[in-house]
Structure 1
Amino acid sequence: MKDLPQPSRKRLLTLATLLSSQPTEKQRITSAEIAVLTGWGEATVRRDIWFLELKAGKSNGYEIKVLKEKIKEKLGLVKNGGARHNCCIVGLGSLGQALLENPVFTGETFSIAAGFDSNQNRVELIKSRVPLFPTLDLEKIIRQKQIEFALLAVDDSMAQKMTDRLISYGIKGLVNYTNVILTVPKNYPLQNASPTHTLTNLLK
């Protein structure tokens, strides 16, 4: 399959979300309709879909079900056999606890398999459907539950140390909710989701 540039990857991820919100009776969608809904140019839409190796007639557009499946396949959102990607939350303060209950993790792509915190009392007191563990058990649980990705919500002072541990235990990618600029290996998948960083990006 064709290599996918990062800007196209981000747009296709947005498109997958948009397609999931379409009325159930709507079966097809055109590049012109997608352009109107997203604000992207039609040429951009068609180029992104070209990476999926999916053909469509100019007049009747794309079958929504097939388009969604192709996007998920290209982005690696669906594993072989339809299994979800296991994730963990590290740091169970107010933000970490909120992430535990995020409905995105009850969908078909990602699943929160564990939560971790260095405070044993906090681990014991929090009521959650997700199994919770002390960070002392990080390596064992990550390998046992085949956890691929981590959401980092620890105190800033612990962020780099915890990042180093997670990478050494085989975590394939991180979402960083701390305010720390993390040092990771070259080309390591890292997304910064700190509200401070995100809001700063809005400034012009």
Structure 2
Amino acid sequence: MTKVKICGLRTPDDIGYVNQLKPDYAGFVFAPSKRQVSLLLALRMRVRLAPQIRAVGVFVNEPLETVAALCRQKIIDIVQLHGDEDASYIGRLKEQTAVPVIRAVRVQNKEQVLEAEQLPCDYLLLDTFVEGQYGGSGKQFDPSLIPEQLQKPYFLAGGLDEHNVREILTRCRPFAVDVSSGVETNGYKDFDKIRRFLEAVRQNP
């Protein structure tokens, strides 16, 4: 079954929602954005997060030492890199920590995705390319840009919501889907939208 990551958690209510609804992953954004959380807030939320939900830290060009420290402190279980981090950065991070690494790709063509597959990461995250943005655009990209020969498991992001996710899952078979703005109302996580999104994914054959 396709796994689900709810990203951009930043309030106590958000933690309560995911603890009740049980997605597979919860994402905390440490990069500058409207959903950015401080180290202290992330720690407070992580302590309350249900143990079966894996905490993903989202970073953009963060100093490696900062990311490694968050891993060692058990604040995050998985590192998601959305910036310009290269094979050397990922390799050094994996030498210092035992956590899996997700490398985000802002998809422009199939060749770019296949090139990213060669990086020493555990997963890819395929997101929409928007000039000047590292992610979180809320816009979709064409699933036909995902190479059929792609072997590395990937998270699919970009403009997903309860209304389109089932149709998209008939066109591609990601390891997981990643949603943030698609389960929000007026910029805040919406319990019913999260519930309906999870139902749409989990009812997919």
Same-fold call, TM cutoff 0.5: no
> Which TM-score band (shorter chain)?
0.3 to 0.5
Q: Which structure would you say has the larger Rg?
A: 1
Which structure shows the higher strand fraction? 2
Output the TM-score relative to the length of structure 2: 0.33
Which structure would you say has the larger RCO, counting Cα contacts within 8 Å and 6 or more residues apart?
2
TM-score norm. by structure 1 comes to 0.33
